[in-house]
Amino acid sequence: MPERSTALAHTGYAVLDIGDDIGALIIHFRRELCGRQIDVSPKGRTWQRTHTDVLERQANGRPLFAALFLSLPADDYFIWGESSQPVGEITITGGQVAEVDWHHLLPAVLLSSPGTFTSSSQMPDLLPPRYLKAKEISVAPMSAAPLCYDEKGQVAWNQMWTNFCDLALAGGPPHRGTLLEPVSIEEIHTDYESYKRVTAELKRGLELITGLPVLHNKQDGWIGLQCTDEEMALWLLRAIVVENVCVRREGSVLWLPAGPTFQLEKEIKNVITVVAKTHHYWTEHSRR
């Protein structure tokens, strides 16, 4: 993988030193994390850190931004950014190169404090036009938006977030503190009428905020979001997982959990909010 010479990139090739019980790790990042330090440590020895930087490299004439660990003993590892908690984990196998694709990961997930980015000039490729003259960017998590209702008494999902760009830009912590998982078929069948009401509201909300077709009544326990293509589905899947909502993919369809006990202000809102946030980021900022 040849590297280009700038302050944060270097000429030459990265030479992997792997074999027997030694492997390597490549972690891909967004451009705005170039120059940041990334650490890994064996799970049983978190104090034993190995450091490297995210650097710009060239592959097939295109820039890549990646952290390379060229030689790691086979083991289970934590991946660390600048925060006090690990941001991921990986298993290194001798003689093999492990890869992690974190293009979807927002800067705040890896940074140590809200003050790390202080001006719009530090993230010119990320900011929408209305931020370009701002003096300061807040990366504090947005408070929960209250439900608002239309004239029919239904939740107006498409009118709840007037400053959604702030939420998508900053990232913040995961939307949920615990993973929202699918429920069992048995639980669904014990109260199928409630389950149908939940899926109907999820379908209505997801269509309002994305304009995409929503599939339901095909797989109990899941509701499907029909993305425009597989690239979009893959990107959204990775971003939604970071938000602590379970999701799976079949081609260009994303399947999100649904259950009869899902409450409007809790689980239903969780699913719709994370899709609204990640869909906004995909449509407004990620594709160029």
State phi, psi for 4 to the nearest 5 degrees: -95, 145
Q: Looking at domain 22-103, which of 2.60.40.3950, 2.60.40.10, 2.40.50.100, 3.30.1490.20 is its CATH number?
A: 2.60.40.10
Q: What is the pTM of this model?
A: 0.53
pLDDT value of position 7: 40
Domains 22-103 and 120-286 share a fold: no
Extended strands (E) in the chain: 22-28, 37-42, 50-59, 62-73, 75-80, 88-92, 97-101, 214-215, 222-226, 248-250, 253-257
Where are the chain's structural domains? 22-103, 120-286
Beta-bridge mates of residue 63? 58
What pLDDT is attached to residue 126? 42
Would you state the pLDDT for residue 182?
A: 87
Q: pLDDT at position 14, please? A: 63
Residue with tokens 């034993």: 48
pLDDT for residue 237: 87
- Cα–Cα distances in Å, from 166 out to 127, 163, 281? 10, 6, 10
Q: Which amino acid is at 255?
A: W
Domain 120-286 fold is: Aspartate Aminotransferase, domain 1 (3.90.1150)
Instruction: Determine the pLDDT at residue 177.
Output: 65
Give me the average pLDDT of each 10-residue run along the chain (288 residues): 38 68 89 86 88 83 85 92 80 90 69 42 43 44 66 82 50 62 91 95 94 86 94 86 86 94 93 89 65
Task: Return the pLDDT at 139.
Answer: 42
Nearest to 256 by CA among 272, 279, 242: 272
CB 163 within 8 A of CB 232: no
